[in-house]
């Protein structure tokens, strides 16, 4: 059976998308679905490549028993052929992903979506970037992502 592949994308790949990736993996484990998926995250920007997720996000996630283990990378043209779903955290990154796809890839394999299209509890149209805010912003992002990532998984499983 072919695995379903999912790539979560934000700006720098150190806050929102690695958190979404870890939440998704956590949900897959709880539902006994992990073997059927390939999950990763990336950023549209390149300045954090190789770095761990922001320590404030890792600490906030650990309080929820969610471990963020990924290292930042930048989205590439190959991702449009390697992933079934590419999931953007906000409108700006959604546009950047679409622009990159239009410039570099002729495939229509990847379905590019906004994570907040799968929300059920929170009214946010985008997942806010907590990077320049206080610690409470990281908990808020995790709340929003737990809702929308769960809705996304429900929609494909």
Whose CA is closest to 87, among 7, 26, 21, 143? 7
* Strand boundaries in 69-127, DSSP class E: 85-88, 111-114
Locate 92 and state its tokens.
């700006």
- Alpha-carbon distance of 105 to 52, in angstroms, equals 28
Q: Residue 133's domain spans which residues?
A: 4-156
pLDDT at position 88: 98
Whose CA is closest to 42, among 111, 91, 3, 96? 96
Q: Is 10 a catalytic residue?
A: yes
Average pLDDT, integer, range 18-34? 97
Among the listed residues 15, 16, 54, 90, the single catalytic one is: 16
Count of domains in the chain?
1
Q: Is 16 a catalytic residue?
A: yes
pTM summary value: 0.97
Q: Is 129 a catalytic residue?
A: yes
Among the listed residues 54, 79, 129, 147, the single catalytic one is: 129
27, 146 in Cβ contact below 8 A? no
Partners of 22 in the β-ladder: none
Question: pLDDT tens for residues 49-65?
Answer: 999 999 999 999 999 99
Q: Residue 101 is part of a domain; what is its CATH number?
A: 3.40.50.2300
pLDDT at position 30: 97
Question: pLDDT tens for residues 73-100?
Answer: 999 999 999 999 999 999 999 999 999 9
């Amino acid at each position: 059976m072919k695995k379903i592949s999912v790539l979560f994308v934000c700006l720098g790949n150190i806050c929102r998308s690695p958190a979404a990736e870890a939440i998704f993996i956590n949900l897959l484990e709880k539902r006994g679905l992990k073997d059927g998926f390939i999950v990763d995250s990336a950023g549209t920007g390149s300045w954090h490549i190789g770095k761990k997720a922001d320590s404030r996000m890792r600490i906030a996630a650990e309080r929820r028993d969610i471990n963020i283990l990924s290292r930042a990378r930048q989205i590439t043209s190959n991702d449009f052929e390697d992933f079934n779903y590419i999931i953007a955290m906000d409108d700006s990154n959604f546009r950047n992903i679409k622009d990159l796809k239009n410039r570099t890839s002729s495939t229509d394999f990847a379905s590019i979506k906004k994570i907040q299209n799968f929300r059920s509890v929170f009214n946010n149209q985008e997942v806010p970037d907590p990077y320049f805010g206080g610690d409470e912003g990281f908990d808020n992002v995790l709340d929003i992502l737990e809702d929308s990532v769960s809705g996304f998984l429900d929609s494909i499983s």
